[in-house]
Chains A and B, each alone.
Chain A
Amino acid sequence: MTEFVHPTILFFVGALVIPFLNGTVRKFWQLLIPALAIGVVAIAQPGSYGTVWFLGQELLIARVDKLSLVFASVFTIMSLIGMVYALHLKRPGQHVAAFLYVGSALGVVFAGDYLTLFVFWEGMAFASAYLIFAAGDERAVQAGFRYLMVHLTGGIALLGGVILHGAATGSVMFGPIEGPLGAAAYLILIGFTLNAAVPPLNAWLTDAYPEATVTGAVFLSAFTTKTAVYVLARGFPGAELLVWFGTAMAIYGVIYAVMENDCRRLLAYHIVSQVGYMVAGIGIGTEMALNGATSHAFAHILYKALLFMGAGAVIYVTGRRKLTELGGLYRTMPLTVTLYMIGAFAISAFPFFSGFVTKSMVVSAAGYDHRAVVMLLLTLASSGTFLHTGLKLPYYMFFGKDSGLRPPEPPRNMLVAMSIAAALCIGIGVYPAPLYALLPYEVDYHPYTWPHVTESMGILMFTALGFVLFLKALDPEDTISIDTDWFYRKGARAFMRFAEKPFARYEQAVSAVSEKSLLPFMHRSAQAGLRADLGGIDAIVNGVARKVLRGGEKLRRVQTGIVTHYAVGMIAGVIAAIAIFAVVWL
């Protein structure tokens, strides 16, 4: 088989069909598409597919090589697990969004040029935002608007960087950025690191993921940050800056996790922390470090999804999400506890679990590269990882004081999805050879040496000792933590109070113009499409502004039409991008 079937096509076609199917047929379809995608990626041959000329630029829709294939493999496996977990949902909306989201993520992973990458990059932002909006409550809608606003801003930075880069080099091919970083490279880097949730651009993640639906958060935890890891590994290997941002990030997430009371927000801070290892690995840039970053991304997707599935299952059966309101669930949910703990052991890098064979590769790579401080700080962060995901969260959620809740185990499909992920977490840990064979460079690393095992156990179990001795200090508190989203949640509000008058006057003027001259013109031309377009864009602009700046009530109404509005907005964005390219190159 020489031809390459792009898995994005499978997911996009799959998404189109879902609304027309029902019952068992739809469930079968939802599992068939990810299964086919896994197969397509497994047999894909490295090469370049789909070269097209567009506005005088050579674009490459799919570049297939070892780096893109390892990410595509885990993305397709994850899509199957996520779909099994969400199988009980009757309404099609979230399934469609999840398919579009996964398809876009795969589009980014295979994109050979920046323009293709950008289009799928924006597609991911919109499709994933639906998984937050779908939760439906006021907080989710507000968090969703903030999420979109931040990602659109990041997208603009990325597009700006791409245009500058293209104008300077004459090519939009996506590859390692050569030489010292210039303005174009920094803009692209901002776009990429925003999606990787590198502080200070991290708050969108911990703000929005815990507000998503139970099943949506599982998808969210897997794709956005890891596509960002992929593009960083492709574009910026060996960028010294990333070593320090990555290390800081690993500790940042751990520090915030101590203060956190919301179970999924605690896990979200650990995404920040774990992605820190990957970013640091990419920054170190040796073959071993890049292998470590890639394999850690692979393992991370599976165990983090497992943890989110476990916490999601608890939210699903109890309706509660705060650690202060949970406790004692082990009596009626032993299977959930066990599966969750497998994920917790994997993220903590216990021997015979997946984190042990991947995270240590990054840490050792730092050691071989004579970066003692990085190595020590990353080890410190691993202690924190076990402290929260392996001890604090399960203790207060499943054990600890009895909340009196006696919920049943979650639906069977959820348990099956968690079991698949758990099996992979153990499988990779016990027998890492197949994963190592997938990595972009040849692996000369042996995780199972006696010193490594005893050292890891020492770090982990004496962390547990600290937990046992200082348990009281760790009691969760009824608080929220201030992160960098403060600037656009509080700061923007202050700015609005200051700027409200001129802003209102400007709006008045604009609407006067549109009523007097624009509307009659539109009626004359009577193009329904155009009307929808303007209405949609207007709604987004107003929606984002008002929700974020004033937090008003009115915009809840927008919720109902949100998918169409954002679809229109997305198309408008793509058209704008093409227009800008046309201006630059023609």
Chain B
Amino acid sequence: MIARIVSFFGDSKYANLRLRLFYLVLALIVVADFLVPREHVEYLWERLPGWSAVYGFASCVAIIFVSKFLGHQGGLMRPEDYYD
């Protein structure tokens, strides 16, 4: 069974199905975030439904591009024989 689950995530013939399921999950999470009761929240953004989705996506994009920028333009990424 484990092998079948793993191959669902690897095999390219399921690629479309995977993507559709993924978007469904994303939609469900946002919907759920609108429905959950929020009693004691401390910060402004915790009141905004869907905030975590936006923040998660923005964080991810920021991390990718800031790192790659530092690596390429900032000179942190070097050829493998740099220290030899």
Using A258-B71, A458-B29 as known contacts, say yes or no to A480 and B60 having CB atoms under 8 A apart: no
Nearest A residue to B3, CB-CB: A334
Chain A: minimal CB distance from B38 (Å): 5
Q: In chain B between 45 and 66, which residues have their CB closer than 8 angstroms to a CB of chain A?
A: 46, 50-57, 59-66
Q: Which of A275-283, A304-312, A467-475 contacts B (4 or more CB under 8 A)?
A: A467-475
Q: Is the CB of B71 within 8 A of A458?
A: no
Q: Is the CB of A379 within 8 A of B55?
A: yes
Nearest B residue to A486, CB-CB: B83
Residues of B within 8 A of A (CB): 2-3, 5-7, 9-10, 19, 22, 25-26, 29-30, 32-33, 36-38, 41-43, 46, 50-57, 59-68, 70-71, 75-80, 82-84
Using A255-B63, A384-B63, A454-B36 as known contacts, say yes or no to A459 and B78 having CB atoms under 8 A apart: no
Q: Mark A450-476, 1 if CB is under 8 A from B, else 0.
A: 110011111111111111101001100
Bound-state Cα–Cα, A331 to B66, Å: 34
* A259 interface hit (Cβ, 8 Å): yes
Q: Is the CB of A466 within 8 A of B76?
A: no
Task: Write 6 A-B pairs (CB below 8 A) sorted by A numbering.
Answer: A259-B77, A383-B63, A459-B52, A462-B54, A480-B83, A481-B78
Which residues of chain A are near B46, meaning CB under 8 Å? 451, 455
Q: Is the CB of B77 within 8 A of A481?
A: yes
Looking at A256, A258, A376, A462, the one whose CB has the most chain B CB atoms below 10 A away is A462
Bound-state Cα–Cα, A456 to B2, Å: 26
Q: Is the CB of B66 within 8 A of A462?
A: no
* A387 interface hit (Cβ, 8 Å): yes
Bound-state Cα–Cα, A328 to B10, Å: 8
Chain A: minimal CB distance from B27 (Å): 10
Query: Which of A334, A463, A467, A468 interacts with B6 by CB under 8 Å?
Result: A334
Q: Is the CB of B3 within 8 A of A451?
A: no
Query: Top 6 A-B pairs ranked by shortest CB distance?
Result: A466-B60, A458-B52, A258-B67, A459-B56, A383-B59, A462-B56
Q: Is the CB of B57 within 8 A of A399?
A: no
Nearest B residue to A478, CB-CB: B80
Which residues of chain A are near B70, meaning CB under 8 Å? 255, 259
* A535 interface hit (Cβ, 8 Å): no
Q: Is the CB of A399 within 8 A of B60?
A: no
Bound-state Cα–Cα, A21 to B65, Å: 54
Which residues of chain A are near B19, meaning CB under 8 Å? 468
Bound-state Cα–Cα, A526 to B13, Å: 77
Q: Is the CB of A255 within 8 A of B66?
A: yes
* A338 interface hit (Cβ, 8 Å): yes
Q: Is the CB of A451 within 8 A of B41?
A: yes
Using A259-B71, A474-B64 as known contacts, say yes or no to A465 and B36 having CB atoms under 8 A apart: no
* A477 interface hit (Cβ, 8 Å): yes
Bound-state Cα–Cα, A398 to B54, Å: 29
Q: In chain A between 371 and 429, which residues have their CB closer than 8 angstroms to a CB of chain B?
A: 372, 375-376, 379-380, 383-384, 387, 398-399
Bound-state Cα–Cα, A580 to B26, Å: 63
Q: Is the CB of A462 within 8 A of B36?
A: no
Bound-state Cα–Cα, A375 to B65, Å: 22
Using A367-B43, A479-B77 as known contacts, say yes or no to A463 and B56 having CB atoms under 8 A apart: yes
Using A380-B63, A399-B10, A479-B80 as known contacts, say yes or no to A259 and B68 having CB atoms under 8 A apart: yes
Chain A: minimal CB distance from B10 (Å): 4
Q: Is the CB of A458 within 8 A of B42?
A: no
Bound-state Cα–Cα, A331 to B2, Å: 11
Using A383-B63, A384-B60, A459-B56 as known contacts, say yes or no to A465 and B26 having CB atoms under 8 A apart: yes
Query: Which of B25, B42, B67, B83 interacts with A490 by CB under 8 Å?
Result: B83
* A439 interface hit (Cβ, 8 Å): no
Which residues of chain B are near A344, meaning CB under 8 Å? none
Q: Is the CB of B71 within 8 A of A462?
A: no
Q: Is the CB of B60 within 8 A of A463?
A: yes
Q: Mark A338-382, 1 if CB is under 8 A from B, else 0.
A: 100000000000000000000000000001100010011001100
Bound-state Cα–Cα, A456 to B33, Å: 10
Nearest A residue to B82, CB-CB: A480
Q: Is the CB of B63 within 8 A of A451?
A: no
Using A259-B68, A334-B7, A457-B29 as known contacts, say yes or no to A387 and B78 having CB atoms under 8 A apart: no
* A562 interface hit (Cβ, 8 Å): no
Q: Is the CB of A338 within 8 A of B2?
A: yes
Which residues of chain A are near B59, meaning CB under 8 Å? 379-380, 383-384, 459, 463
Nearest B residue to A330, CB-CB: B10
Nearest A residue to B38, CB-CB: A451
Query: Which of B10, B52, B84 interacts with A331 by CB under 8 Å?
Result: B10
Which residues of chain A are near B78, meaning CB under 8 Å? 479-482
* A157 interface hit (Cβ, 8 Å): no
Using A458-B30, A461-B26 as known contacts, say yes or no to A467 and B67 having CB atoms under 8 A apart: no
Q: Is the CB of A259 within 8 A of B52?
A: no
